[in-house]
Structure 1
């Protein structure tokens, strides 16, 4: 039976990331950078894909407002979906496009789907993340309990914001994944899978650095985006979306 190692969520992508993934035997990376429109994500993913590593474009959509945002990861989108739309609006669009929908870091801080959301959207969710290096032990245990309680398949990812984290975590599917459609099918059909998490001191150190990066991401970087930057490229009222999401925009 063919198997495929997939890191289902990375934020960084360059030659070093590709080398690290290949060295670890990872076959597929799902690339979903923050605040980047889908055509740009897709173009960069294609540029770094080759016969040994498939890079699949995806969007981690920030639903809701900055104060109460819930992240949802969509794989297999054909049309762009902006950030800062209602949770209902995002799920309606994912449903229309028949995308695979994943719950990254559920119940984590104020940036995730909670138990009530998972219960409400159970029929739309194809997987729940049960580990990434930014999570503390009790976060991961709570995520596993949530996946079990609602009978949603699990996944693990590096959630790499730093190159060095790539190659330390993956989900291995009992299926061949040769293109984006294969991955969407594997997720939506609930193909059997196993999660791998590195246990070496080096991986634990890299996980700690990712946690420290989280503090930066949610303090100074956020201040820069809110106070110093202009409209995000993925803002729902950006001209690129042609007003299609005005009715579900929160800003």
Structure 2
């Protein structure tokens, strides 16, 4: 990296495979933040390492589902050392992020029933390191609201493809004005508020992305949700799973 060259990061993707890596490189990305649903941190780390190479850094992260399924608030953490489960109170998750000195990012703020609300942003303003001001799954009104919230709280901005589908990777990224060669570098850039730009596509391709990703969202929250909750057994990231050694049994909310 040299002066004047930015480091392009898709700050949140849910999928990772050969096609995703190919699309990311073709889009000129330097890194992806990989945070799949209901997957424990060791598995995320292993998969991220397997797909990282000299051209593309894949950074492991966790989007934690706090609260109950009906009223869950998603929060994204980069740089965790120890696993944190889903379905715990927001205050418990935030305390764990602080204890582990992870970078705390707010994806899709105030969107539907899966996001931090304005009051949450105020409560945890000192803990939050960045806020997503553009999400290709959103309509313009949602992105404008996110941008306004970022301005109101002076949160450094980020964007991401939020790709649940491989074809979405590369439609949005955050361009940091600093070299980033490791997970630690990215955590430092986020926590230090390093200068950056949000970059995204507009036009017909943007609306095609919105339509396909929203269609996938409907799929995820209908029969697939029922299968996950009632047919698949305890999730690997459930707080009462044996992997957490009982640390979160007392705070499990689901």
Q: Report the TM-score, using the length of structure 1 for normalisation.
A: 0.98
Aligned to 2:104: 101
Report if the CA contact (8 A) 2:15-2:164 is conserved: yes
Aligned match of 2:246: 243
Q: Which residue of 1 aligns with 2:218?
A: 215
Following the alignment from structure 2 to structure 1, what is the Cα–Cα distance between the partners of residues 253 and 37? Answer: 18
Query: Are 2:136 and 1:141 equivalent residues in the alignment?
Result: no
- Look up the match of 2:61: 58
Q: Which stretch shows the higher mean deviation, 170-179 or 191-200?
A: 191-200
SS in 1 for 2:170: coil
Q: What per-residue deviation string (whole Å, max 9, x for no partner) do you get for residues 101-126 of structure 1?
A: 00100000000000000000000000
Indicate yes or no: 2:78 matched with 1:75.
yes
- Verify the 8 A CA contact 2:137 2:209 in the aligned structure 1: no
Structure 2 Cα separation of the partners of residues 207 and 51 of structure 1? 31
Q: How does 1:12-23 map to 2 (within 5 A)?
A: 12-23=15-26
Matches of 1:29 and 1:207 in 2, distance apart?
20
How far off its partner does 1:200 sit?
Answer: 4.4
Conserved 8 A contact 1:134-1:214: no
How far off its partner does 1:72 sit? 0.2
**Deviation string for 1:208-242 (max 9, x for gaps)?**
10111111112122111122220000000000000
Gaps of 5+ in 2: none
Superposition deviation, residue 207 in structure 1: 2.3
The secondary structure found in structure 1 opposite 2:230 is helix
2:230 and 2:83 map into 1 onto residues whose CA distance is 25
Question: Which deviates more, 99-108 or 129-138?
Answer: 129-138
Alignment of 1:171-182 (within 5 A): 171-182=174-185
Return 5+ residue gaps in structure 1 as ranges: none
Q: Distance in 2 between matches of 1:148 and 1:244?
A: 37
Which one is further off, 98-107 or 190-199?
Answer: 190-199
Q: Deviation of residue 66 (structure 1)?
A: 0.5
Q: Which residue of 1 aligns with 2:36?
A: 33
Q: Which moved more, 1:196-205 or 1:238-247?
A: 196-205
Residue 82 of structure 1 and its aligned partner are, at CA, apart by 0.3
